[in-house]
Amino acid sequence: GAGVSQSPRYKVAKRGQDVALRCDPISGHVSLFWYQQALGQGPEFLTYFQNEAQLDKSGLPSDRFFAERPEGSVSTLKIQRTQQEDSAVYLCASSPRAAGSYEQYFGPGTRLTVT
């Protein structure tokens, strides 16, 4: 079946612009996660949802970052007033929360470049 999809795949924004990144999880997956991956680093957790409830947003670096999943399916990560340090790949993952496994299925990511 279809995997996790993300759009756009690439985004170039001028410093100060707002951006919105979209994630379509695997159908039926309860949990949805956002990670930020800097060049040459491992993914770093931003936030996650269980259905439409945002259960952990401890990784969001500032109040410029906002995520939502209003109907428990598609999610949007919004970054306001982008800064150069926001340049990274933003990964979305979903998980079925099957008993005993916390495996997360990742999308291809959105590469954000702030100029």
Partner 1 sequence: GESVGLHLPTLSVQEGDNSIINCAYSNSASDYFIWYKQESGKGPQFIIDIRSNMDKRQGQRVTVLLNKTVKHLSLQIAATQPGDSAVYFCAEKYQGGSEKLVFGKGTKLTVNP
Name the residues that contact partner 1, by CB under 8 A: 4, 31, 33, 35, 40-45, 48, 55-56, 58-59, 91, 93, 95, 97, 100-109
CB of 81 to partner 1, least distance (A): 26
CB of 97 to partner 1, least distance (A): 8
CB of 60 to partner 1, least distance (A): 12
Nearer CB in complex with partner 1: 6/82: 6
Q: How many C-beta atoms lie closer than 10 Å to residue 71's C-beta?
A: 9
